[in-house]
Chains A and B, each alone.
Chain A
Amino acid sequence: MINFYQLIYRTLTTFSSKKGEGSKVVPDLATDMGQSNADATVWTFHLKKNIYFSTGAPITSKDVKFGVERAFDPKLAVGAPYARLYLDAPKDYEGPYKSGDLSSIETPDDSTIVFHLNQSVPEFASALTEPVFTPFPDDPDTVTETSVDQKPVSSGPYEVKSYTQGSSIALVRNPYWKASTDSVRKAYPDKIDFTFGVDAATVDQRLISDQGKDVDTISGNSVLPSSLAKLQTPQLKSRVVEGESGCTTYLVMNTTKPGLNNVKVRQAISYAINKQQVVDAAGGNQLATITNTMLPSNTPGYQSFDLYPSKDSKGDPAKAKELLKAAGVSNLSLILDTRETDTMISQSEAIQQALAKVGITVKINQIDAASFYQTIGTTSEQHDMTVTGWCPDWASGSTFLPPLFQGSQIFSQGNSNVAQLNDPAVNAQIEKIEKMTDLTEANKAWSALDKQINELAPTVPLYYAKAVSLVGSNVGGAYSDPQRAGGVNFATVGLLDPSK
Chain B
Amino acid sequence: MTVPNAEASFGLTEVEAGPAASTPGRGRVVRALLAKPQVVAAAGFLVLLVLLAVLAPVLTAIEGSGPNAFHSGAVDSDLGGMPIGAFGGVSGAHWFGVEPQTGRDIFARIVYGAQVSLTISLATTAVTTVVGVVLGTVAGYFGGVVDTVISRLMDILMAFPALIFMIAILSALPDGNRTLLLICVLSVFGWPYIARVIRGQTMSLRQREFVEAARVSGARLRHQLFAEVLPNLRGTIIVLATMAAPGYIGTEAALSFLGVGVVPPTPSWGQMIAASVNWFTVDPTYFLIPGAFLFLTVMSFIVIGDHAQKVLDGREA
Contact = CB atoms under 8 A, between A and B. Distances in A.
Same assembly: yes
Contacts of B100: 225-226
Contacts of A284: 75-81, 101
A348 B263 CA distance: 12
Contacts of A224: 80, 278
B175 A365 contact: yes
Interface string A207-229: 00000000000000000111111
B161 interface: no
Interface stretch (A114-122, A181-189, A339-347, A403-411): A339-347
Contacts of B279: 226
A351 to B, nearest CB: 10
Contact of A227 (B76, B80, B259, B263): B80
Given A230-B281, A349-B102, A368-B171, A283 B263 contact: no
B41 interface: no
Interface residues of A, number: 36
A439 interface: no
Interface stretch (A25-33, A97-105, A142-150, A272-280): A272-280
Contacts of A277: 70, 72, 102
A343 B277 CA distance: 14
Contacts of A227: 80, 278, 282
A469 to B, nearest CB: 14
Interface string B122-137: 0000000000000000
B144 to A, nearest CB: 47
A195 interface: no
Interface string A278-306: 01110111110000000000000000000
Nearest to B281: A230
Given A224-B278, A277-B70, A364-B264, A285 B78 contact: yes
Given A274-B70, A277-B72, A348-B264, A283 B80 contact: yes
A227 B39 CA distance: 42
B179 to A, nearest CB: 15
Given A349-B265, A366-B263, A281 B77 contact: no
A232 interface: yes
A286 B102 contact: no
Given A230-B281, A276-B72, A280-B72, A350 B102 contact: yes
Interface string B72-110: 100111111110000000000000000011110000000
Given A281-B102, A345-B264, A349-B264, A229 B79 contact: yes
Contact of B102 (A228, A280, A364): A280
Given A232-B79, A343-B101, 13 more contacts: A224-B278, A226-B281, A229-B79, A274-B70, A280-B70, A280-B77, A284-B81, A284-B101, A286-B78, A287-B80, A348-B264, A353-B265, A365-B175
6 contacts: A230-B281, A274-B72, A284-B77, A286-B80, A352-B68, A353-B70
